[in-house]
Structure 1
Amino acid sequence: STHSADISADIAGLGSAEAESELNYLGTVRARAGYAFDRALVYAHGGFAYGETEQTITAGGTKLFNESQTRTGWTVGAGVEFAVTNRISVGTEYSYVDLGDERVFDDAGVFVDEDVAFHTVKALINVRF
C-alpha cells in the first residue's frame, strides 16, 4: 500500500494548487539484538532503509510535475516477542524510519522540499517450520 501527504492552496490567477507525495514502497535491512528470558524476547533493531517516493504537483487542474525518486536512509526501533508455543510467537515492534530530505521540484522560484521520516508500529505473528 502507499502512504501519502497532500498540500492544497489557492493561488491568485491560477486557482487551486495541490502537491501530493506518496511512498510507493519501503524496504529495510536490519540487525536486531536483545535479551531473552523465559518465553519472551525484548530487542532493539537498526539498519538500512530504502523506498520510492513520487510527487505530483497540479495547478488549475493541470498536472505540472510528476516524478519519482529512490530514497535511502536508516531505521531504528525496538520490539518484544513472546513464544506462545515452540513454533508460534506473537509480538509488537516500533520503528522510526528516516529517508532524508531532498528538493524534488525547483522552477521559477517555486520549490518543493520533501522530508520523509515517519514512525510505524506493527503486530507480529511468526510461525517456525
Structure 2
Amino acid sequence: MASGGVAFAGIETSQDVGGSGFAKTRTGTGWTIGAGVDYALSSNIVVGAQYRYYDFGKEHFDVPDDFSDRDQDLKLHTLGVSFSYKF
C-alpha cells in the first residue's frame, strides 16, 4: 500500500533571547508520502505497519534583535502499527 497527498499541521514556535523574542502559531501546509503493509495472521486477525514522511517547508523568523533571526525547516517521520480483528 502506498499513499501521498497534502498535509496540514498546527505549528507553534517561540524564542526569547534577552527579553526580545517572538511567538507564532500557524497552520502549516505541506505534503506527505508513505507506504505500509498488512499481514493476515489468521482469517480474523490482521497486523500492519505504516511509514509516513511529512514536509512543511522552510520559514524565516525576523525578531527585533538581528542576532536572533532564525530559519525553521519542519520535516516529520512517523511509524504506525495497526491491529485489526474481522468479525
TM-score bucket (shorter structure): 0.7 to 0.9
Structure 2 residue 23 is matched with structure 1 residue 66: yes
Amino acid at match of 1:97: Y
Deviations 1:68-114 (CA, angstroms, capped at 9, x unpaired) = 110011111111101234443211111111111112x2134342211
Q: Secondary structure at the match of 1:67?
A: strand
1:24-39 matches, cutoff 5 A: none
The structure with the largest strand share of the pair is 1
Structure 2 residue 56 is matched with structure 1 residue 99: yes
**Uncovered stretches (5+) of structure 2, i.e. residues with no partner:** none
Are the equivalent residues in 1 in contact too, given 2:47–2:83 (CA < 8 A)? yes
Q: Secondary structure at the match of 1:107?
A: coil
Cα RMSD between the aligned structures?
2.0
* Length, aligned pairs only: 85
Task: State the TM-score, normalizing by the size of structure 2.
Answer: 0.79
Pair 1:126–1:99, CA change in 2 (3 A): farther
Higher relative contact order, structure no. (Cα contacts within 8 Å, ≥ 6 residues apart): 2
Counterpart Cα distance in 2 of 1:73 and 1:128:
34
Equivalent in the alignment of 1:117: 75
Counterpart Cα distance in 2 of 1:115 and 1:87:
43
Amino acid at match of 2:72: E
Counterpart Cα distance in 2 of 1:88 and 1:75:
28
Amino acid at match of 1:91: G
Deviations 1:27-79 (CA, angstroms, capped at 9, x unpaired) = xxxxxxxxxxxxxxxx111111110111111224x473211110011111111
**Uncovered stretches (5+) of structure 1, i.e. residues with no partner:** 1-42
Are the equivalent residues in 2 in contact too, given 1:56–1:63 (CA < 8 A)? no
